[in-house]
Structure 1
Amino acid sequence: MPRRPLSTINLNQLLALDALLTEVNVTRAAQRVGVTQSSMSHSLRALRELFEDELLVRGREGMQLTAKAEALVGPLHRTLRALQQLVDEDPEFEPATSQREFRISSADFAAALVLPPLLAALERTAPGVRLVLRPLDVRGTALALEREHLDLAIGPPLPETVSVIEETLLTERYVCVTRRAHPRGAGPWTLDEYCAARHLLVSPTGSGTGVVDDALEALGRRRDVVCRVASFLSAPPVVAESDVVWTALESAVRGSVARFALTVTDVPLELPTPEVRLAWHRRFDRDPALMWLRALLHAAVRAT
């Protein structure tokens, strides 16, 4: 059993002990920590009581350390150095040797955009790091971050909550996407042509409308949505084999234009400028590993 509970020991006592063991002189020890000689003498008396040892004794050439004091020098220095590192430094993260697994929730188009350059960067700098990507559930993301089921989320803005921090990963714009052999031909769409066309809508629930329909309704217009698909990734092959028009975020089709022989043109009406955001829990804002991963994600977006 310990002679005294750790809670009764003052950190200043350990600093005084370190000074006394280093200087082996009460006056110089007091100067070292910036206290009076009287205060250091009081600390020495308390330390002698704590350790049940004289610690410093008089010898022929001045004060000397006792055997007990000599045994304390190494452990004390290591303890104080560890405490200093605890308050001075963030925990280190070494990408090159890390085996950490990061769990990311992402909209599928965002994953398709950032994952290739992100994986390439990991292969170069952090080959042991693993990624687990999950479908984005906007309503459940904040809770998943809170419960540490997720490390990061990539997608549209989340419902406002004080526990989640968000930053813009990229700013988007909407474009019209058709197959190159579309019978209408190339060139900008007029609003009348756009409303008369057959449209595809990405809708995870298979129902509802989108921002395009809201903008058209404000103009007293509507479009004919003939096909709804649940995923951004399933839309390009459908567009490539039909005459539907897909109004999509530009980044969602960036990797599909050449592969599926698609044409991209401007949308003939004013639409909002959406943001794709990166979200994480406030508790891990200064986590070195997540700070590194967030920086890597921003670099991946710049590389696209």
Structure 2
Amino acid sequence: MHIRELDLNLLVIFDALLRERNVTRAANDIGLTQGAMSHALNRLRLFFEDPLFIKAPNGMTPTPKAELLGVTITEVIAALREKVVSQAKFDPATAQRTFVLSMTDMGELVFLPPLIRRLRKLAPHCTLRSIQVPLEQIEGLLASGEADLALGSIYAAPEGLFQQQLFMHTFVTVVSARNRKVGKTLTREQFESMPQIAVSLTGRANAAYDSAFDAYGIKRNIYLTTPHFLAVPLLIDAHPDLIATVPLELGTVFSRLGTVKILPTPVALPPFALRQHWHSRFHADAANVWLRHLIKDTFENYPDVPKY
């Protein structure tokens, strides 16, 4: 077979002629002049050694060979449009897919409400799935495409990942509203003596989110280490002597429950960055690029996120 001699664009022209049965309409359908269409038809006839389309009173009639070829060519063109051409761009208005985001429970609380609002508006047929996995598994999930993005603070992002800063978070200390020993401030002595909850995704206290205290020589009385931020207010409500240091936005949400109050930390901790991470394999993927732009646009002025 002399496949190298066939201009594959001619298959698009064949498909249009088969559908329209008229040179002028077929030309208009694919954006060619009538002269260019006639020239392309002559090339098709030469390649297939058959007239393919014969003039008739109502247009063009396909020959038996054209009808036989048409079954396969129509399938090929449909497959190219669906499986190849559609991948060249991402149309959020019509796309139907599930975006998978790796994040902590704190990330769900911070990221999901505004992201869901925007995704429902801009990509109404897309859905979201949130997963939480150990840090050492994140790169593999992003590389395989099982997760599209990882959102949060990955202290030492693997070399295979791109990252983009979204916004900065500061810290506050959360205390039970029923703890009468603590007023509007928390002294260093109180902070060091009170039993604390430390949140660490790895389960190790020295990898906790508030481990920056160690740089100031503060000796913490860590009673519980947990990977779950959302357990903090419930545990403090059940055990009012416990305290925890969490990101400001999370502490603000917890304080709305009425069971805990937020106080400045005894030593001002430096803010930490929340970022989105993705694998180099999907750096140019149209859907991944669109999602990253959406998230960056939504959160770059955090906490003043768009309400639309």
Per the normalisation by structure 2, the TM-score is: 0.66
Return the match for 1:114 from 111, 114, 139: 111
Structure 2 partner of 1:233: 230
Give matches, 1:85-100, under 5 Å.
86=85, 90-94=89-93, 98=96, 100=97
The one-letter code of the counterpart of 1:92 is D
Structure 2 partner of 1:258: 256
Please tell me whether Structure 1 or Structure 2 has the larger radius of gyration of its CA atoms. 1
1:243 & 1:258 partners in 2: Cα distance? 19
* Identity across the alignment (%): 20
1:227 & 1:267 partners in 2: Cα distance? 19
Change (3 A) 1:190 1:137: same
Structure 2 partner of 1:145: 142
Give matches, 1:275-286, under 5 Å.
275-285=273-283, 286=285
Return the match for 2:173 from 148, 158, 176: 176
The one-letter code of the counterpart of 2:282 is F
Deviation beyond 6 Å, 4+ runs, structure 1: 11-14
SS of residue in 1 equivalent to 2:257:
coil
Contact 1:182 1:243 in 2 (8 A): yes
Structure 2 partner of 1:194: 191
1:107 & 1:199 partners in 2: Cα distance? 20
The one-letter code of the counterpart of 1:90 is K
1:211 & 1:264 partners in 2: Cα distance? 17
- 1:9 equivalenced with 2:37 (yes/no): no
Structure 1 partner of 2:131: 134
Change (3 A) 1:271 1:159: same
SS of residue in 1 equivalent to 2:145:
coil
Question: What root-mean-square deviation, in Å, do the aligned CA atoms of Structure 1 and Structure 2 show?
Answer: 4.8
SS of residue in 2 equivalent to 1:243:
coil
- 1:288 equivalenced with 2:287 (yes/no): yes
Contact 2:176 2:259 in 1 (8 A): yes
Q: CA deviation at 1:159?
A: 4.2
SS of residue in 1 equivalent to 2:254:
coil
Q: Which runs of 5+ in 1 are unaligned?
A: 15-21, 23-28, 33-39, 56-66
Q: CA deviation at 1:298?
A: 4.8
Change (3 A) 1:131 1:91: closer
Q: CA deviation at 1:144?
A: 0.7
Change (3 A) 1:213 1:48: closer
Q: CA deviation at 1:246?
A: 0.8
Change (3 A) 1:13 1:157: same
Q: CA deviation at 1:225?
A: 1.4
Residues 275-284 or 156-165, more deviating:
156-165
Change (3 A) 1:294 1:242: farther
Contact 1:200 1:244 in 2 (8 A): yes
Change (3 A) 1:93 1:116: closer
- 1:64-111: CA deviation from partner (whole Å, max 9, x where unpaired): xxx99xx8xxx99xx8xx99x959x6243325x63x222221111011
The one-letter code of the counterpart of 2:186 is W
Change (3 A) 1:256 1:172: same
Change (3 A) 1:206 1:53: closer
Contact 2:101 2:131 in 1 (8 A): yes
2:128 & 2:9 partners in 1: Cα distance? 45
Structure 1 partner of 2:47: 50
Return the match for 1:203 from 200, 203, 218: 200
Give matches, 1:11-90, under 5 Å.
50-52=47-49, 86=85, 90=89
- 1:269-298: CA deviation from partner (whole Å, max 9, x where unpaired): 243321122122333334236614651575
1:219 & 1:127 partners in 2: Cα distance? 48
Contact 2:198 2:209 in 1 (8 A): no
